[in-house]
Amino acid sequence: METSSSRVNSLPYSTSPRDDGGMEKINDKLYSWASIIAANALQQAKLTAQLSIIDPHVALMPDAHLGMGATVGSVIPTVGAVIPAAVGVDIGCGMIAVRTQFTEDEVRATHRPLSYLRGQIERAVPLSPGRYNRKTWGLAQESIVELEKLAEVEGVQPADFAKNWRLQLGSLGGGNHFIEVAVDQDDAVWTFLHSGSRGVGNRIARRFIKSAQQLAERRGDELPDRDLAFLTTHDVEYAEYLAHLHWAQEFARLNREVMMDRVLDQLGRFMGQDVERLDEVACHHNYSAVEEHFGQEVLVSRKGAIAAHAGARGLIPGSMGTRSYVVTGKGDEMSLCSAPHGAGREYSRTQARKTFTQDDLRERMADIEYHDHAAFVDEIPDAYKDIDVVMADAADLVRVDHVIRQIINVKGR
């Protein structure tokens, strides 16, 4: 099935934008909205699409780039099976944003500099891989109770994966995870953050990716990539994985809630008044959910993609020095009601460190309060796709409600 925006005749893929945008039919099992994509990422998506468990087709989002097994920025519907690597190792990773009553002028008019607020946020939220809370406090305690009840219902023992999972709740992590204070087109101040299920989710994912690989070997499955190994409904591990997946997705959601609570507390202290939550948007972008598409119930795994069902609200961040977007889904069925989750990398972290310098990063971050450290060079905006091109590619998938630019960026090393 095709829409008027599809192009039946595939054009060569490169790292240059297409002129026409819209959807491209690669083959009957693969459709793409990415005008900028590397050849290796496209080839990886083709391998995923040829699996017998795929139905109806894989949808590549505008930010698609090479991942482990499955392409980051891909939407993978399966029948009777699940591919653990199609969710990835940061189960439930996603974003949350809150619009406050403050304006940029009001924030800048306080008697303390933005660097002070950044420092307070960095003290309130543990940053970087391996960092976590020394004790549980505030909203984290309520969230732990919720997660303990869910673990009992799902038959999950999270301590088998990370004994300190309770202390991980409310911590950011590293890589492209961030906390930002940002301003929209109407001068309204937002707080915005991106993180996932931390070490406990990572270990859950890796255990079941390995289990799927072992089962595939025993069954004699012929796979184009061993990271595409899947669990079927006939495998005991299938239900076990989905139970752990559900728990880890909820951990990730609550993790963001706890961090947001702390960020808003620090913003309120900085401004001398409590923060009003005038609007709030939250979404996962590494997860699986049962959905109906083309009249069939399928398990949709979004790896670096957000749900964009008609009316569903979502968040699409750029990089640490570029704009982000608050959006509403249009319910495009060919995309399996999905949209990009960000800008998507053009340079690997290693390539970025070889190509760009700390001075390059300083130039790109000139108007943004951030921690000036060489560790963040691989997160320079130039290492990512042009977010304007990504959003143009996504024009049939989402409506843009707010465009926000950061004035403070917080990251873990």
Tally of structural domains, the chain: 1
Confidence category of residue 1, pLDDT binned at 50, 70, 90: very low
For the chain, helix (H) and strand (E) counts, in that order, are 10, 18
pLDDT tops 50 at residue 13: no
Nearest to 207 by CA among 173, 251, 162, 163: 162
Has residue 373 been placed in a domain? no
User: What confidence score (pLDDT) does residue 3 get?
Assistant: 31
- Alpha-carbon gap, residue 335 to 85, rounded angstroms: 20
Has residue 365 been placed in a domain? no
What count of other Cβ atoms lies within 10 Å of the Cβ of residue 235? 17
Q: What does the pLDDT look like over 367-401, one tens digit per residue?
A: 999 999 999 999 999 999 999 999 999 999 999 99
Q: What does the pLDDT look like over 59-107, one tens digit per residue?
A: 999 999 999 989 999 999 999 999 999 999 999 999 999 999 999 999 9
Query: Which residues constitute the domain of residue 316?
Result: 6-346+384-410
3-state SS class at 286:
strand
Q: Residues 65, 345: contact at Cβ < 8 Å? A: yes
Q: What does the pLDDT look like over 319-352, one tens digit per residue?
A: 999 999 999 999 999 999 999 999 999 999 999 9
Confidence category of residue 11, pLDDT binned at 50, 70, 90: very low
- Alpha-carbon gap, residue 247 to 249, rounded angstroms: 5
Has residue 195 been placed in a domain? yes
Query: Structure tokens of 66?
Result: 């090479």
Q: What does the pLDDT look like over 99-148, one tens digit per residue?
A: 999 999 999 999 999 999 999 999 999 998 889 999 999 999 999 999 99
Helix (H) or strand (E) holding 264: helix 236-271
This model's pTM is above 0.85: yes
pLDDT tops 50 at residue 16: no
The two beta strands, 305-307 and 338-340, are antiparallel
Looking at the chain, the whole-number percentage of residues with pLDDT higher than 90 is 92
Has residue 379 been placed in a domain? no
Cα-trace Rg, the chain: 21
pLDDT tops 60 at residue 10: no
Nearest to 171 by CA among 151, 201, 203, 191: 201
User: What confidence score (pLDDT) does residue 15 get?
Assistant: 39
Has residue 218 been placed in a domain? yes
For CA atoms 309, 231, 54, 71, the dihedral sign is: positive
Residues annotated as catalytic (active site), given as ranges = 341
Helix (H) or strand (E) holding 103: strand 94-103
Has residue 304 been placed in a domain? yes
Has residue 353 been placed in a domain? no
Has residue 370 been placed in a domain? no
What count of other Cβ atoms lies within 10 Å of the Cβ of residue 345? 24
Q: Looking at residue 135, which CATH number applies to its domain?
A: 3.90.1860.10
Q: Residues 8, 2: contact at Cβ < 8 Å? A: yes
User: What confidence score (pLDDT) does residue 17 get?
Assistant: 44
